[in-house]
């Protein structure tokens, strides 16, 4: 997978999360988590773009670490929303959680490889 494919995958993931959580019921307990999920999923894509302009391998590793932190936050938000909204978009949220897991695995491997190449 090349850099552009991964960037597009993160953008697609962000769009799907935004679309999915926007359709959840407008309850006060959902609003906070929906906003957080939108911020963290889009931040993962934005920070990946920053990583592409890293000034050094150490900077790249650091920025990819931030991408992973944002993805972990998105994952927890999605899991909470999934449990708080039983039967409502659960299949979609479950698919997003799976995609999030795959992205985390990719970035974990990316950091490992970057460290080995240092």
Residue 73: name the closest of 109, 48, 37 by CA: 37
Percent of the chain with pLDDT over 70: 97
Of 24, 20, 12, nearest to 103 by C-alpha is 12
Q: Provide the greatest CA pair distance for the chain.
A: 48
User: Minimal CA–CA distance to 38: which of 14, 59, 57, 60?
Assistant: 14
Question: Where do the domains of the chain lie, and which CATH numbers do they carry?
Answer: 3-116 (1.20.1440.60)
Structure-token pair, residue 12: 């697609």
Q: What is the pLDDT of residues 37-81, one digit of tens each?
A: 999 999 999 999 999 999 999 999 999 999 999 999 999 999 999
Question: pLDDT tens across 78-114, in order?
Answer: 999 999 988 766 779 999 999 999 999 999 999 999 9
Please name which of 24, 16, 17 lies closest in space to residue 84, comparing C-alpha atoms.
Answer: 24
Tell me the chain's radius of gyration from C-alpha atoms. Answer: 15
Over range 21-35, report the average pLDDT. Answer: 90
Q: What is the pTM of this model?
A: 0.92
* Per-residue confidence (pLDDT) for residue 89, from 0 to 100: 64
First to last CA, the chain: 21
């Amino acid at each position: 997978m090349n850099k552009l494919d991964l960037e597009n995958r993160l953008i697609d993931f962000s769009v799907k999360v935004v679309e999915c959580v926007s359709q959840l019921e407008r309850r006060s307990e959902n609003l906070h988590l929906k906003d957080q999920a939108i911020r963290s999923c889009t931040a993962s894509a934005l920070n990946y773009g920053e990583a592409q302009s890293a000034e050094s391998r150490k900077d790249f590793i650091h920025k990819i670490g931030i991408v992973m932190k944002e993805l972990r936050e998105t994952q927890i938000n999605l899991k909470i929303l999934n449990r708080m909204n039983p039967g409502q978009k659960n299949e979609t949220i479950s698919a997003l959680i799976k995609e999030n897991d795959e992205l985390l695995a990719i970035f974990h491997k990316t950091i490992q490889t970057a460290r080995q190449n240092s």
